Amino acid sequence: MIGALIAERCTNCNACVKACPALVFDPGEQTPVLARVADCQTCYLCELACEADALWVNPDAASSWAPPHRHLLESGQLGRIRLDSGWNEPADAGQLDDYRLLGPLLNEGVEIAGRRYAQKHGG
Amino acid sequence: MIASVILSADVLILGGGMAAAWAAIAAAEAGASVIVVDKGAMGTSGVTATGGPGHWWVPDDAALRRDAVERQTAKAQGLGDPEWMARIIDLTWRYLPQIASYYPFGSDGRGGRFINGVRGPEYMRALRQLALARGVTVLDHHPAVELLANADGTIIGARGVALISEETWEVRAGATIVATGGCAFRSGLIGSHTNTGDGLLMAAEAGADLSGMEFSISYSLSPEWASTRTLPYTAARFYDGGGRELDIPPPRAGHAHDQALGKAMSEGPVLADLSDAPPALHGVLRRIQPLTAAAFERRGIDLWRDRFPVKLFGEGTIRGVGGLRIIDADCRTSVPGLFAAGDAATRELVTGASSGGGAVNSAWALSSGRIAGAAAAQQARATLARQTGTGLGRIGLHPQRAAQALDTATITASVGHEIHDYKKAFWRRADSLAQSATVLEGHWQALADHGRAQGRDLVELRAVAAMTASARWVTAAAQVRAETRGIQFRDDAQALDPALAHRLLVGGLDTVWTRPDRATATATATAAATAAASAELAA
């Protein structure tokens, strides 16, 4: 669940309010407000929408706990998903050049599991 | 409900996922004015936005396409429709490249673009941008609550709630498309929190029937703390809490794989060990699925070395195939003026009794969206004036008895348990299905008798009612289909029953009914005869 909104980074642009499919955020005076945390589905899409890298989602879908903000600021995790995705890069930046490997790697795993099971059962 | 804002459009689309977006784009391209109303936000709503859909992708070559359709027809176990399959292959091939102005297609490794697999967040961002560029009006956080009908019973729009202001809106339209997605019964499946079957409930209140709801036994593996995409786990070894390796049939074993995992998980913790995963995956997982990498990194877990607890997340009718029955080639439902697309519609036409997998389902979402969008635009042209209508919503709006506060969280958990409990789902039996039907009946009765709310609470109450109704349709259909076919598994009827080689319709709210789809029984027999004849010719 959404764990942290780092106020010192937030520009109050409301991109998270608009992006959240579960309407977890309400608009606020200084920053958006985490109004309905229990509805958070841990999809991380607010982090992608946040150009200020001010949001942190706890990967535990049942927990909105967050480390102290000073730790998060040093963790390298803020904005990491946007960076890994190449979310704001130009279309020719090659951010999806490895994406074609998804299917082959998924199938390779399936094959590995199949061979291992067959060997074990004398197949 | 009394609306404080009244809008009008040629075409109204309920939902904001992949099918809704393609429907909006197609309707706008056909010259219609289009309003999209979504519970979430078009771009982040639904299971595509967090996913990475591959699309059924067969080049424009007659022999290749014939082979693809034949293979899929065989998988469909008598319930598919080869003409629909060929149609969605063609539409997908022609239209998916249309997003290129907004989607950063990657390399195919051979100097070209890799088109058929797209990453969810970027794909849905592109579809939103394309829809906006075509002039579509998108109202995010504006869930529909009830359909409106004129005196003939034709659907002429919908009413709903603006979630932020909690005001009631109304849209009057010449045609309405339900594209609200499937129902995952709040299993925690990534991206599915808002996929509660809302459109199925609204359509059923208008008298629509559904089909294929029994084909809903589908799960995906993930760490127990959160559902992710499954790419890293396909080669996993499994261990019990005492460190003993479990003998789990491989993923290709399908139901036996899920059954073995479900049994082990019912008995205690199950840990996954990914040390056998393809080595090439280590370096690129983050570049393919950044969200999956984060789910481990932020817990300090090295997913390639550390064992971690896993569970199966129910996918309900999302990877299952049931939904609103489609009555013609234009994606009309059985209710005049109402179309359906994507996971809100039955996908049996293209999947039959099998799961759509990702690729066929995505091709269906795109194609049924485009078909419904274009047909709705055409219908709207024939509709002269914006009409006023009567709201058809009943549950949550007009209780049969005194309104009472209901414990919706408890009802939701119970409904989810009846559908997704491993023992109930992986070993469906007449007795356990009958028990589920009784439990669900009780919840429905409470909702129908006492449910009443307003604003955001009404939206949630209706979502709980929609999940309860969907669960009742799933259970009723699973009771009648006393056989094992495709992804419907009956522990007490493990063989195929030739007498059940037809689709199964289901519907009703206070009283749930089922009946065989005789039209498809005839078509199935014809298709089977044709297949047999061509097999003879081939031999």
Q: In the predicted model, is pLDDT for residue B539 greater than 50?
A: no
pLDDT for res B382: 87
Distance CA B259, CA B375 (A): 42
- Is residue B396 included in any domain, yes or no? no
DSSP code at position B345: B
Say which CATH number the domain at B124 has: 3.50.50.60
> Which residues in chain A have their CB less than 8 angstroms from residue B54's CB?
102-103
- Looking at residue B355, its pLDDT comes to 86
- Residues with Cβ < 8 Å from B516, sequence gap 6 or more? B502, B503, B504, B505
Are B298 and A61 an interchain contact pair (Cβ–Cβ within 8 Å)?
no
Whether B516 is in a domain gets the answer no
Tally of CB atoms within 10 A around B342: 35
Triad B284, A108, A117: Cα angle to 5°:
135
With CB atoms and an 8 Å threshold, state whether A48 touches B121. yes
DSSP string covering chain A? -EEEE-TTT-----HHHHH-TT--EE--SSS-EE--GGG-----HHHHH-TT--EEE-S-TT------HHHHHHHS-TTHHHHHHTTTS-TTS-TTTTGGGHHHHHHHHHHHHHHHHHHHTT-
Ranges A29-33, A54-58, B438-442, B515-519: which has the least confidence: B515-519
Whether B531 has a pLDDT exceeding 80, the answer reads: no
Residue B509 lies in a domain: no
Task: Evaluate whether residue B403 is within a structural domain.
Answer: no
Q: Are residues B323 and B424 in the same domain?
A: no
DSSP secondary structure string, B135-193? T-EEETT--EEEEEE-TTS-EEEEEEE-TTT--EEEEEEEEEEE----B-TT---TT-T
d(CA A31, CA B457): 25
CA-wise closest residue to B476 among B408, B418, B519, B520: B418
Question: Beta partners for B104?
Answer: none
The closest of A46, A38, A27 to B41, measured between CA atoms, is A46
Residue B53 near residue B358 (C-beta atoms within 8 A): yes
Closest CA to B324 of B342, B348, B340: B340
The confidence score (pLDDT) of residue B536 equals 43
If asked whether residues B85 and B170 sit together in one domain, one would say yes
Tens digits of residue pLDDT in B86-111: 999 999 999 999 999 999 999 999 99
Best CA proximity match to A60, nearest among B284, B192, B222, B230? B222
List Cα–Cα distances, A80 to A9, A14, A70, B299, B428, in angstroms: 15, 20, 16, 15, 43
Reported confidence tier of residue B538, pLDDT bands at 50, 70, 90: very low
Distance from A78 to chain B by nearest Cα, in Å?
Answer: 11
Closest CA–CA distance from residue B260 to any residue of chain A (Å): 13
Contacts of A93 in chain B (CB under 8 A): 104
How many A×B Cβ pairs under 8 Å? 189
Copy the structure tokens of residue B387: 């009409």
Cβ pair B14, B179 in contact under 8 A: yes
Read off the CATH number of the domain in which B444 is found. Answer: 1.20.58.100
* Residue-level pLDDT at B537: 44
Return mean pLDDT, chain B: 95
- From B101, which residue of chain A is nearest by alpha-carbon distance? A91
* Among candidates B235, B286, B294 on the partner chain, residue whose Cβ is nearest the Cβ of A112: B235
Query: Would you say residue B507 lies in a domain?
Result: no
A87 interfacial to chain B (CB closer than 8 Å) = yes
pLDDT digits (tens, 9 = 90+) for B56-76: 999 999 999 999 999 999 999
Query: For B175-190, what is the mean pLDDT?
Result: 98
Q: Are residues B489 and B452 in the same domain?
A: yes
pLDDT at residue B232 above 90?
yes
**Paired sense of beta strands B308-314 and B144-149, if any:** unpaired
Whether the complex's predicted ipTM surpasses the cut of 0.90: yes
B515 touches chain A (CB under 8 A): no
- For strand B210-211 and strand A55-57, is the pairing parallel, antiparallel, or unpaired? unpaired
Strand partners, B210: B324, B506
Give helix B18-29 / helix B120-133 axis angle, nearest 10°: 20
Partners of residue A57 on adjacent β-strands: A2
In this structure, the answer to whether residues B305 and B333 fall within a common structural domain is no
Min distance B336 CA to chain A CA atoms (Å): 30
pLDDT of B497 higher than 50 = yes
Q: In angstroms, rounded to a whole number, what is the distance separating the alpha carbons of residues B327 and B415? A: 29
| 3-state SS assignment for residue B23 | helix
Contacts of A116 in chain B (CB under 8 A): 235, 237, 250, 276
The pLDDT-based confidence of B387 (bands split at 50, 70, 90) is confident
Q: Which two tokens stand for residue B222?
A: 């993930």
Q: Do B378 and B436 have their domain in common?
A: no
Q: What is the pLDDT of residues A49-93, one digit of tens each?
A: 999 999 999 999 999 999 999 999 999 999 999 999 999 999 999
Which domain, by its residues, includes B442?
408-495
- Contact of B136 with B34, CB cutoff 8 Å: yes
Q: Do B150 and B28 share a domain, yes or no?
A: yes
Same-domain status, B190 and B109? yes
**Interface contact A60-B141, CB threshold 8 A:** no
Band of residue B528 on the pLDDT scale cut at 50, 70, 90: low
* CB atoms B40 and A81 under 8 Å: no
Do B56 and B69 lie in one domain? The reply is yes
State whether B179 and B328 are in the same domain. yes
Query: Residue B293 belongs to a domain with what CATH number?
Result: 3.90.700
pLDDT recorded at residue B518:
82
Nearest to B252 among A26, A106, A110 (CB): A110
Answer whether residue B42 shows pLDDT above 90: yes
Q: Which of B314, B342, B376 is the last residue of a domain?
A: B314
Q: In B318-413, which ranges are E strands?
A: 323-324, 338-340, 390-391
Examine the domain organization and report whether B432 and B385 are in the same domain: no
Per DSSP, the three-state class of B482 is coil
How close A68 comes to chain B (CA, Å)?
14
* B494 CB burial (10 A radius; 0-12, 13-18, 19+): exposed
The whole-angstrom separation of Cα B134 and Cα B102 is: 13
Q: In terms of domains, do B368 and B439 share one?
A: no
CA-to-CA distance for B410 and B464, rounded, in angstroms? 10
Residues of A in Cβ contact (< 8 Å) with B258: none
Using a CB–CB cutoff of 8 Å, tell me whether B286 touches chain A: yes
Q: How many CA atoms lie within 13 A of B443 on its CB side?
A: 28
CB of A97 within 8 Å of a chain B CB? The answer is yes
- Contact flag B281-A109 (C-beta cutoff 8 Å): yes
Residue A102, min C-alpha distance to chain B (Å) = 7
In this complex, do A96 and B119 lie within 8 Å of one another by their Cβ atoms? yes
Number of residues that this document lists for chain B? 539
Q: Please tell me whether residues B72 and B132 are part of one structural domain.
A: yes
Q: Is residue B435 part of a domain?
A: yes
Sheet arrangement for strand B504-507: B323-324, B210-211, B504-507, B513-516
User: Is residue B152 a part of any domain in this protein?
Assistant: yes
Q: Are B90 and B23 in contact (CB under 8 A)?
A: no
Domain count, chain B: 3
Instruction: Give the 3-state DSSP-derived string for B87-136, with helices as H, strands as E and coil as C.
Output: HHHHHHHHHHHHHHHCCCCEECCCCCEECCECCHHHHHHHHHHHHHHCCC
Q: Does A38 touch chain B (CB under 8 A)?
A: no
Cβ of A89 within 8 Å of Cβ of B140? The answer is no
Q: Which two tokens stand for residue B370?
A: 């485009």
The mean per-residue pLDDT over the stretch A1-22 comes to 98
Sheet bearing B270-273, strands edge to edge: B219-223, B308-314, B270-273, B237-240
Token pair for A74: 């040093």
Rounded CA gap, B477 and B515, in Å?
A: 9
Beta-ladder partners of B339: B177, B332
Closest residue of B to A62, CA-based?
B225
H or E stretch including B435? helix B430-450
Contact B526, B536 (CB under 8 A): no
Is there a domain that residue B528 lies in?
no
